[in-house]
């Protein structure tokens, strides 16, 4: 993760140290936290319960996620400033888990800026559950970006040698770590390249790598960055699998140019990439595609007129995005002089909200690629963020697959399905399409959060609009009461052709004054989260609660008729909303291909500290020609709600 800030080298702990563990119990505040905070209520007010957090202070990128097969537990590190609540003194915190749901977090960093080559920061990296010589002897190996000069940012000239690649190993399952004397194993970018960045190593056993770099006995290393005034990219290396310190440059992965933006469905690929992961995903038919997941820096803002007329959340944030692209081998017939190893095929948005720096690993337990990301505190002003004494958290784990939908006839509103640049649409013999894209789902082990929760099933029902003529939630006969601010909902809707919007309302107070709306607008093919604007009358400090807006559509596909006439029928997939809410964090998965993470700083900050912040849930739809409080033809196919989730 880059920054324009200048860091100080603070070394309160030795380079190799033992750590006391702290349960993920956020009512606990250690003595360092108390010194930083003073007020316990500020610390706990918006602090989530079942998400992974640092004990206190600033947190950003997830680092070195992985599984230790010898000890049967997961490790997840994170960039952390244990001495303050701003980006500075970037060390690595560390948490461990048996199931990726319940975490134990070390109370001190596992790696701190200490050596000459990393004196100004331990930036993002990866974990290999083997020793540096490639042996699976129980040794764990971290590969990380070591920083000895600041500032570093894609907007300023790159200083050669400011970032290098280093190794630390643990022989006791992560309790202690030591740097290797061979550090740094790479002193910086390849000679002769003018880069915008060079950091965040990731290792992958790319068995179907391009033929010109495919070798036996190697792993593949990927370091993120860009070529100045040319393209963001990933620098690809071959690694001797028997010696993880031996890296050889193979070439840049992609050449997409500057600020490539195929359409709103794919986002802006920017000027510089961070934390790029290459993964191969396979569907249930054995078809595979290669994807790069990356943070994209230097995205262009929306035009001034659009921002002035209808501001949305991204207008007020750092201009970066969490994206993915599907890559394929370069065609020899395209005449390009590029030295890139692969070429762009299609791409999409991995998360449309306050989620960045996605980092992943192959989980041998469930045989899936698992992803974590950093959910930021960008919408909270510094004055309130400093008062709470902590910033940022780690997302819930997500699993990836290749989604394949056959016999697709059309999208809801886009006339030409090929205009949706986040899918691969292949025309078949019957005049329909096979559609493929990235599938992003909550990790199935998150079901363990439901133990002890209140479970409610809502059966099939027709829906009407968000009610405006009621005084409190008890007057909403179809609403569900919520007793906590820790819940999960999994709902499916059949959406009529006349539907203007359909989704879920979350009421934050009994008087129905403040609510969060999660809904789909079929006409604009947009999924939207409207957050409550609760600050105008209570503080002069602006909290950014502008609407979250992202592209989403539903596909209509042909199905075989059950009759004897052999006539095909058409069916539109249901709208599927699966959401997790944790105190101030909302993660929403829509049809397992559109994801949006955001923050909601609800009114209890200035009101009753005993309030849960969530009082009711209401499923709604609004249709053309249907008056308020009347039922239309859009229906809820069924929903399950779990209230009171706990790790």
Q: Measure the CA–CA gap between 62 and 289, rounded to whole angstroms.
A: 25
Of 363-372, 398-407, 439-448, 602-611, least confident by mean pLDDT is: 602-611
Q: What are phi and psi of 453, to 5 degrees?
A: -85, 165
Name the pairing type of β-strands 57-68 and 390-391. Answer: parallel
Using the Cα atoms of residue 229, residue 234, residue 236 and residue 242 in order, give the sign of their dihedral: positive
Task: State the pLDDT at residue 469.
Answer: 54
3-state secondary structure of 274: strand
3-state secondary structure of 640: strand
For the segment 262-290, what is each residue's pLDDT rounded down to a tens digit?
A: 999 999 999 999 999 999 999 999 999 99
- Mean pLDDT, residues 574-588: 97
Name the pairing type of β-strands 178-179 and 195-204. Answer: unpaired
Token duo for residue 340: 């890139």
Q: Measure the CA–CA gap between 432 and 237, rounded to whole angstroms.
A: 40
For the segment 464-492, what is each residue's pLDDT rounded down to a tens digit?
A: 887 655 556 555 556 899 999 999 999 99
Q: Measure the CA–CA gap between 131 and 140, rounded to whole angstroms.
A: 6
Q: Measure the CA–CA gap between 518 and 598, rounded to whole angstroms.
A: 11
CB-based contacts of 93, cutoff 8 Å, min separation 6: 54, 55, 59, 77, 78, 79, 80, 82, 105, 106, 109, 110
Cβ(274)–Cβ(358) below 8 Å: no
Q: Measure the CA–CA gap between 323 and 199, rounded to whole angstroms.
A: 18
Q: Measure the CA–CA gap between 527 and 575, rounded to whole angstroms.
A: 11
Of 77-81, 239-243, 469-473, least confident by mean pLDDT is: 469-473
3-state secondary structure of 424: strand
Cβ(97)–Cβ(103) below 8 Å: yes
Task: State the pLDDT at residue 19.
Answer: 43
CATH of 452-643, one of 1.10.10.60, 1.10.260.40, 2.60.120.560, 3.40.50.300: 2.60.120.560
44, containing H or E segment: helix 40-44
Residue 562's pLDDT band (cuts 50, 70, 90)? low
Cβ(271)–Cβ(229) below 8 Å: no
Cβ(327)–Cβ(286) below 8 Å: no
CATH of 21-396, one of 3.40.50.300, 2.115.10.20, 2.40.40.20, 2.60.120.200: 2.115.10.20
What's CA 303's distance to the chain center, in Å? 26
Residue ranges of domains in the chain: 21-396, 452-643
For the segment 90-128, what is each residue's pLDDT rounded down to a tens digit?
A: 999 999 999 999 999 999 999 999 999 999 999 999 999
Rounded to 5°, angle at Cα 80 from 79 and 83: 160
Looking at the predicted structure, is the pLDDT value of residue 462 above 70? yes
3-state secondary structure of 268: coil
Burial of 264 (0-12, 13-18, 19+ CB in 10 A): middle
Task: State the pLDDT at residue 608.
Answer: 46
Q: Measure the CA–CA gap between 494 and 574, rounded to whole angstroms.
A: 5
3-state secondary structure of 183: coil
Strands (E), 531-615: 548-551, 555-560, 568-572, 575-582, 585-590, 594-599
Task: State the pLDDT at residue 632.
Answer: 72
Task: State the pLDDT at residue 135.
Answer: 84
3-state secondary structure of 479: coil
Q: Measure the CA–CA gap between 633 and 612, rounded to whole angstroms.
A: 34
Q: Measure the CA–CA gap between 521 and 310, rounded to whole angstroms.
A: 16
Residue 535's pLDDT band (cuts 50, 70, 90)? low
Q: Measure the CA–CA gap between 524 and 542, rounded to whole angstroms.
A: 29
Rounded to 5°, angle at Cα 645 from 642 and 647: 145
Burial of 568 (0-12, 13-18, 19+ CB in 10 A): middle
Residue 557's pLDDT band (cuts 50, 70, 90)? very high
Cβ(519)–Cβ(481) below 8 Å: no
For the segment 20-58, what is each residue's pLDDT rounded down to a tens digit?
A: 443 433 333 444 444 444 456 889 999 999 999 999 999
Q: Measure the CA–CA gap between 519 and 454, rounded to whole angstroms.
A: 24
Strands (E), 110-216: 121-128, 140-147, 163-170, 178-179, 195-204
Using the Cα atoms of residue 70, residue 71, residue 76 and residue 79 in order, give the sign of their dihedral: negative
For the segment 330-376, what is each residue's pLDDT rounded down to a tens digit?
A: 876 555 678 999 999 999 999 999 999 999 999 999 999 999 999 99
Nearest Cα residue to 361 out of 139, 146, 62? 62
3-state DSSP of 491-555: EEEECCCCEEEEEEEEECCCCCCCEEEEEEECCCCEEEEECCCCCCCCCCCCCCCCCEEEECCCE
Q: Measure the CA–CA gap between 360 and 278, rounded to whole angstroms.
A: 9
- Mean pLDDT, residues 576-586: 97
Task: State the pLDDT at residue 460.
Answer: 83
Q: How far is CA 262 from CA 256, 423, 534, in A?
A: 11, 12, 37
Q: Measure the CA–CA gap between 320 and 442, rounded to whole angstroms.
A: 23
| Count of CA atoms in the C-beta half-sphere (13 A) of 574 | 16
Q: Measure the CA–CA gap between 195 and 109, rounded to whole angstroms.
A: 30
> For all residues of the chain together, what is the average pLDDT?
89
Q: Measure the CA–CA gap between 342 and 255, rounded to whole angstroms.
A: 8
Only one residue has tokens 């399952």, namely 173
- In angstroms, the first-to-last Cα distance of the chain is 29
3-state secondary structure of 22: strand
Look up the pTM and report it.
Answer: 0.92
323-362: b (≥16 Cβ within 10 Å) or e: bbbbbeebeeeeeeeeebbbbbebbbbbbbbbbbbbbbbe
Burial of 454 (0-12, 13-18, 19+ CB in 10 A): middle
């Amino acid at each position: 993760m880059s920054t324009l800030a200048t860091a100080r080298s603070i070394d309160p702990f030795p380079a190799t140290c033992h750590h006391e563990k702290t349960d993920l119990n956020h009512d606990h505040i250690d003595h360092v936290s108390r010194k930083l905070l003073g007020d316990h209520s500020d610390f706990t007010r918006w602090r989530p319960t079942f998400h992974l957090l640092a004990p206190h202070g600033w947190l950003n990128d997830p680092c070195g996620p992985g599984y230790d097969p010898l000890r049967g537990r997961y490790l997840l590190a994170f960039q952390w400033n244990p001495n303050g609540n701003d980006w500075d003194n970037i060390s690595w915190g560390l948490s461990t888990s048996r199931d990726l749901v319940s975490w134990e977090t070390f109370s001190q960093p596992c790696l701190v800026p200490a050596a000459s080559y990393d004196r100004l920061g331990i930036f993002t990296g990866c974990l290999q559950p083997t020793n540096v010589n490639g042996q699976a002897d129980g040794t764990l190996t971290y590969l990380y970006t070591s920083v000895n000069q600041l500032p570093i940012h894609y907007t300023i000239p790159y200083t050669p040698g400011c970032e290098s690649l280093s190794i630390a190993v643990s022989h006791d399952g992560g309790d202690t770590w030591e740097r290797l004397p061979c550090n740094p194993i790479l002193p910086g970018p390849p000679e002769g390249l003018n880069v915008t960045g060079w950091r965040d190593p990731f290792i992958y056993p790319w068995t179907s790598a391009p033929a010109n770099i495919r070798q036996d006995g190697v792993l593949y290393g990927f370091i993120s960055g860009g070529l100045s005034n040319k393209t963001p990219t990933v620098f690809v290396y071959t690694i001797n699998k028997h010696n993880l310190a031996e890296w050889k440059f193979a070439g840049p992965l992609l050449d997409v140019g500057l600020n490539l933006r195929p359409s709103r469905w794919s986002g802006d690929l920017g000027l510089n990439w961070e934390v790029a992961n290459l993964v191969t995903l396979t569907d249930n038919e054995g078809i595979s595609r290669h994807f790069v997941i990356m943070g994209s820096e230097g995205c262009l803002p929306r035009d001034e007129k659009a921002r002035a007329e209808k501001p949305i959340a991204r207008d007020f944030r750092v201009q970066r995005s969490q994206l993915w692209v599907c890559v394929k081998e370069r065609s020899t017939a395209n005449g390009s002089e590029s030295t890139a190893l692969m070429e762009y095929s299609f791409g999409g948005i991995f998360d449309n909200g306050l989620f960045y720096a996605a980092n992943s690993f192959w989980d041998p337990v469930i045989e899936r690629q698992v992803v974590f990301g950093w959910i930021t505190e960008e919408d909270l002003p510094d004055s309130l963020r400093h008062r709470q004494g902590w910033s940022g958290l780690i997302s819930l784990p997500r699993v990836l697959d290749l989604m394949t939908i056959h016999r697709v006839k059309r999208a809801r509103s886009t006339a030409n399905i090929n205009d949706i640049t986040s899918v691969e649409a292949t025309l078949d013999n019957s005049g329909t399409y096979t559609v493929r894209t990235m599938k992003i789902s909550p990790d199935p082990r998150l079901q363990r959060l439901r133990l002890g929760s209140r479970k409610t099933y809502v059966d099939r029902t027709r829906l009407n609009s968000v009610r405006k003529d009621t005084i409190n939630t008890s007057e909403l006969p179809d609403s569900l009461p919520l007793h906590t601010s820790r819940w999960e909902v999994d709902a499916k809707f059949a959406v009529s052709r006349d539907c203007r919007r359909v989704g879920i309302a979350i009421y934050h107070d009994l008087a129905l004054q403040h609510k969060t709306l999660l809904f789909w607008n079929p006409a604009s093919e947009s999924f939207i989260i409207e957050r409550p604007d609760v600050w105008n009358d209570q503080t002069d400090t602006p909290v950014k609660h502008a609407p979250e807006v992202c592209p989403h559509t539903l596909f209509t596909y042909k199905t075989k008729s059950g009759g004897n006439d052999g006539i095909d029928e058409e069916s539109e997939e249901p709208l599927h909303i699966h959401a997790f809410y944790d105190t101030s964090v909302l993660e929403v998965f829509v049809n397992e291909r559109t994801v949006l993470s955001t923050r909601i700083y609800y009114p209890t900050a200035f009101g009753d500290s005993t309030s849960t912040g969530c009082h009711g849930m209401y499923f709604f739809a609004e249709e053309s020609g249907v008056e308020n409080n009347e039922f239309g033809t859009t229906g809820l196919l069924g929903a399950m709600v779990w209230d009171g989730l706990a790790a």
